[in-house]
A = this chain, B = another copy of it.
Amino acid sequence: MSTIPSAECPDLPEPPYYAVIFSSVRSGDDRGYVAMAARMVTLARAQPGFLGIETVREGQVGITVSYWRDLGSIAAWKAHAEHAIAQRLGHERWYERYEVRVARVERAYSMGK
Interface residues in chain A, defined as those with a beta carbon under 8 Å from any beta carbon in chain B: 5-7, 9, 15, 19, 21, 23-25, 27, 54-63, 65, 91, 95-113
Contacts and interface: CB of A to CB of B under 8 A. Distances in A.
A100 to B, nearest CB: 6
Q: Is the interface of A mostly helix, strand, loop or mixed?
A: strand
A25 B9 CA distance: 8
A6 B97 contact: no
A101 B19 contact: yes
A7 B23 contact: yes
Contact of A111 (B7, B55, B60, B95): B95
A57 B56 contact: yes
Contact of A103 (B96, B97, B106): B106
